[in-house]
């Protein structure tokens, strides 16, 4: 099956060592994590992991089940790039004289919407946010002009669907131990939004 | 977060209804008593000394079995869990004590045994300093535990242990490890009493049962002409033996066991068609590729069961009942997934299915069985040659125990022979290392199984190779008196590897020739009675002596050196290409 870029979103407890338990689920299957970000979520006390990998959907389904099986993981979802709005942030340290003397560099920075973070006599630090390809292009260009240092942050992503994960997530705050029987609204839609 | 539940145990740490200060160590033992634990398998050491010091005063309520190696402790706890259905508990110290648990944890993880391990750890102030006997046991055990947690403050102990028992024993069971730093064990804190844990918000032990899936599954079963049920340990873990029987009996469906499913249904039940897998029975393997509806109950389609996956039951609609959603579609694509505890889903299914009788279909299994008897079983159980076979030892054992004994095995040829031929009349009477295939499992597991069911006869069937991996546990038997009957089936080879080398490596016997000590003399050194049998005429009497002896007994039986286990689904073959020779 064809490999694609997928973004996995996990909602978890904020517990020590969980990142190791989660990364082990990927490394055990020899899957490379391309980007990993952890942050608080909109629900108090619940953390959010955003993980990017290249795999087939079949593998993603199995991975999400293994991830959700972990005691401290509340929910695991996966999405294609089309289903999410995502950003990556980057910082560039560029020699000050290059920016002041080369018109092309100045244009480039404008074109990519880079904003200034720090200005010193010897260098200037710029910041941009965007998709990875844009960041990569800018890096490539700046490299020709003596880019001193570059760092890119992990992907953060929000689902396009208007309700997002919010409602499902909020269920956890009031859910009692699971009822024995529920009617299943997802029957025959197992392929769409992944859920258990 | 935890809901309070009354436990039967009356704590002794309240003073006029007021909380009192106790040590973290005492809180550990109070928690175990609240959880109904009466037996602990363990080994002391520096970092767990405070817990052992507290244990000195709890001797009358908590039985502690001092093993000879921590691996023995965890395998014993597994045996205890498997024979009793309760959670097994292990104590070990930090560093080497904890790392010696690793094999057992991996075994318990893959075979879903409820185990709680409590390990000592260096003082919290020393964590990360390469202190004496410090090892990062949490990171080492993360992939082989259902959950693990490090406690550095005594006040965390009651809740950590409550969670440990809840997680280990509910849903799909598994091992849990709680690592407690020495300062937390020593620390005095205001003991708030113990609350059992019944709910963790991020943990759903049982998936929601979906009515439509039950209905769809019932419809498939009702239309089936050639249904086949495969049952695994899930039936035993769910305590659903009666529900399972009611289900297959109503629909009259032939049913085959996985290795770990053995004993969930009595061996001589008219619908029991044998064992699945690489060395399973001929009929269920062949018929897997003939049936029209395959109903898997509490099993996980291990590669030793499925053989070549792309030729596995391709003609069949597949219904998979499992408590663990991660098992659905993992190896075999399911037509209808029935998520949930089979204790609940099976009766729902039974209600919707029509009473049936697949007599002709069942008869086909019996025909194939006759073929297997003719080609394999008859010769194995009634050999014409002079040398004894493993199978005939099991046959005589069956005659003497009537299938009422608990049988633990090690791993290898003897394990397959015992599992193929032993009779199991009662659930939880087969204890074997399935998923991990841990040599050395059999003896310590038998010790634990005996403590889990001391009223039963417990027989450890082991090979000459695996026995030598954990034979130090004879010392545990000597000291604490577990009445374990050890039967060593000695073929003077690492037999299973030798069989593969014979069949697939042109008899290039590379390091499978293993010599053994005088096992009977060894037993004697541990004050355990024993004898060695080399001739058939002495076998029955010797087995009878072993079983009748009031205490542990070691019986070494010399069997054919180059006997092979058949049938066999060779690696990479389809189950229906099973070889009879």
Per CATH, is B14-190 categorized as 2.50.20.10? no
% of chain B residues with pLDDT over 90 = 94
Residue A181 has pLDDT above 50, yes or no: no
Query: If pLDDT is split at 50, 70 and 90, which confidence band does A101 have?
Result: confident
- Please indicate whether residue B182 is annotated as part of the active site: yes
User: Using CA atoms, how far apart are residues B196 and B6, in angstroms rounded to an integer?
Assistant: 8
Q: Which of B70, B156, B159, B492 is catalytic?
A: B70
Rounded Cα distance, B130 and B108, in Å: 29
pTM for the structure as a whole: 0.93
Contact state of B326 with A21 under an 8 Å Cβ cutoff = no
Q: How many helices (H) and strands (E) does chain B have?
A: 24, 23
Q: Does B203 touch chain A (CB under 8 A)?
A: yes
- Using CB atoms, pick whichever of A28, A173, A181 lies closest to residue B209: A181
Maximal C-alpha separation, chain A:
71
Confidence tier at B429 by pLDDT (50, 70, 90): very high
Asked if the domains A4-84+157-174 and A85-152 are classified in one and the same CATH topology, the answer is yes
Q: Find the range with the poorest average confidence among A1-5, A64-68, B165-169, B457-461.
A: A1-5
Do the Cβ atoms of B206 and A178 come within 8 Å?
yes
Q: For residue B197, how many C-alpha atoms fall within 13 Å in the half-sphere facing its CB?
A: 21
Give the CATH number of domain B387-558: 3.40.50.970
Q: What's the start-to-end Cα distance of chain A, in Å?
A: 23
B469 has catalytic annotation: no
* pLDDT, tens only, B296-343: 999 999 999 999 999 999 999 999 999 999 999 999 999 999 999 999
A174 pLDDT more than 50: no
Distance CA B283, CA B230 (A): 13
| Domain range summary for chain A, segments of one domain joined by + | 4-84+157-174, 85-152
Residue A193, pLDDT > 60, answer no
Angle at B75 between CA B112 and CA B108, to 5 degrees: 15
User: How large is the ipTM?
Assistant: 0.91
CA dihedral B22, B23, B27, B28 (to 10 degrees): -160
Coil, strand, or helix at residue B474?
Answer: helix
Check B63, B86, B123, B133 and give the catalytic one: B133
B chain contacts of residue A180, beta-carbon cutoff 8 Å? 208-209, 344
Position A166 scores a pLDDT of 64
CATH class of A4-84+157-174: alpha beta
Element (H, E) at B78: helix B70-84
Q: Answer whether residue B68 shows pLDDT above 80.
A: yes
Q: Which fold has domain A85-152?
A: Alpha-Beta Plaits (3.30.70)
* pLDDT higher at B5 or B206: B206
Look up the CATH number of domain B211-365: 3.40.50.1220
How far apart (Å, rounded) are the C-alpha atoms in residues B348 and B364? Answer: 29
Between CA A38 and CA A156 the distance in angstroms is: 9
Residue B574 pairs in a beta bridge with B307
Domain limits, CATH 3.40.50.970, in chain B: 14-190, 387-558
């Amino acid at each position: 099956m064809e490999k694609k870029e997928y973004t996995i979103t996990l909602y978890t407890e904020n517990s020590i060592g969980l990142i190791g338990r989660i990364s082990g689920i990927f490394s055990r299957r020899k899957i490379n994590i391309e980007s990993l970000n952890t942050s608080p979520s909109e629900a108090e006390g619940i953390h959010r992991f955003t993980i990017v990998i290249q795999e087939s959907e079949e593998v993603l389904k199995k991975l999400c089940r293994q991830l959700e099986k972990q005691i401290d993981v509340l929910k695991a979802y996966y999405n294609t790039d089309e289903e999410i709005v995502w950003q990556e942030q980057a910082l560039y340290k560029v020699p000050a004289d290059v920016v002041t003397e080369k018109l092309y560099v100045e244009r480039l920075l404008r074109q990519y919407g880079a904003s200034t973070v720090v200005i010193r006599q010897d260098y200037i630090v710029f910041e941009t946010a965007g998709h990875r390809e844009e960041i990569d292009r800018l890096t490539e260009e700046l490299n020709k002009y003596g880019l001193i240092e570059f760092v890119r942050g992990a992907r953060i992503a929000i689902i396009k669907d208007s309700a997002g994960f919010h409602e499902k997530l909020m269920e956890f705050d009031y859910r009692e131990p699971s009822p024995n029987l529920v009617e299943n609204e997802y029957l025959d839609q197992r392929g769409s939004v992944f859920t258990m | 977060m935890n809901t309070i539940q009354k436990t039967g145990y009356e704590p002794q740490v309240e003073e006029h209804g007021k909380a009192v200060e106790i040590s973290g160590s005492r809180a550990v033992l109070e928690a175990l008593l609240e959880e109904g634990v009466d037996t602990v398998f363990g080994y002391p050491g520096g970092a767990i000394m405070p817990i052992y010091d507290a244990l000195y005063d709890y001797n009358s309520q908590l039985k502690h079995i001092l093993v000879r190696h921590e691996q023995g402790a965890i395998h014993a706890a597994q045996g205890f869990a498997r024979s009793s259905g309760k959670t097994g508990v292990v104590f070990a110290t930090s560093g080497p004590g904890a790392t010696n648990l690793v094999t057992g944890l991996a075994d318990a993880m893959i075979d879903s045994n409820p185990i709680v391990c409590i390990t000592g750890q260096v003082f919290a102030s020393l964590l990360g300093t390469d202190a004496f006997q410090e090892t990062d046991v949490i990171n080492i055990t993360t992939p082989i535990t259902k959950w693990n947690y490090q406690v550095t403050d005594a006040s965390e102990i009651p809740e950590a242990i409550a969670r440990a028992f809840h997680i280990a024993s509910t849903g799909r069971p598994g091992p849990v490890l709680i690592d407690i730093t020495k300062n937390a064990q020593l620390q005095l804190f205001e003991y708030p009493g113990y609350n059992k844990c019944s709910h963790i918000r991020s943990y759903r032990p049982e998936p929601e049962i979906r009515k439509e899936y039950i209905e769809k599954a019932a419809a498939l079963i009702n239309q089936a002409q050639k249904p086949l049920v495969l049952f695994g340990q899930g039936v035993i873990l769910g305590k659903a033996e009666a529900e399972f029987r009611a289900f297959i009996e109503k629909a009259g469906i032939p049913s085959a066991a996985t290795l770990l499913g053995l004993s969930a249904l009595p061996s001589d039940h008219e619908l029991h068609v044998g064992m699945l897998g690489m060395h399973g029975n001929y009929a269920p393997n062949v018929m897997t590729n003939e049936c029209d509806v395959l109903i898997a109950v509490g099993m996980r389609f291990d590669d030793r069961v499925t053989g070549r996956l792309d030729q596995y039951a391709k003609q069949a609609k597949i219904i998979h009942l499992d408590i663990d959603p991660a098992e659905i579609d993992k190896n075999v694509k399911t037509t209808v997934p029935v998520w949930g505890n089979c204790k609940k889903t099976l009766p729902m299914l039974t209600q919707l299915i029509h009473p049936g009788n697949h007599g002709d279909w069942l008869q086909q299994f019996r025909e194939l069985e006759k073929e297997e008897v003719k080609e394999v079983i008859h010769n194995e159980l009634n050999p014409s040659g002079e040398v004894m076979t493993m199978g005939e030892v099991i046959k005589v054992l069956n005659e003497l125990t009537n299938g009422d004994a608990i049988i633990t095995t090690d791993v290898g040829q003897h394990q397959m022979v015992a599992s193929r031929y032993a009779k199991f009349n009662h659930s939880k009477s087969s204890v074997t290392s399935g998923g991990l295939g841990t040599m050395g499992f059999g003896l310590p597991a038998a010790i634990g199984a005996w403590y889990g069911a001391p009223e039963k006869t417990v027989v450890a069937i082991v090979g000459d190779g695996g026995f030598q991996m954990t034979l130090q546990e004879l010392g545990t038997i000597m000291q604490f008196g577990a009445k374990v009957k050890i039967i060593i089936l000695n073929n003077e080879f690492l037999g299973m590897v030798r069989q593969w080398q014979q069949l697939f490596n042109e008899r290039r016997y590379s390091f499978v020739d293993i010599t053994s000590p005088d096992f009977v003399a060894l037993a004697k050194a541990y004050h355990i009675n024993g004898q060695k049998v080399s001739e058939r005429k002495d076998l029955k009497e010797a087995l009878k002596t072993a079983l009748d002896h009031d205490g542990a007994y070691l019986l070494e039986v010399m069997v054919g050196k180059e006997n092979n286990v058949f049938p066999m689904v060779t690696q990479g073959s389809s189950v229906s290409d099973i070889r009879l020779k």
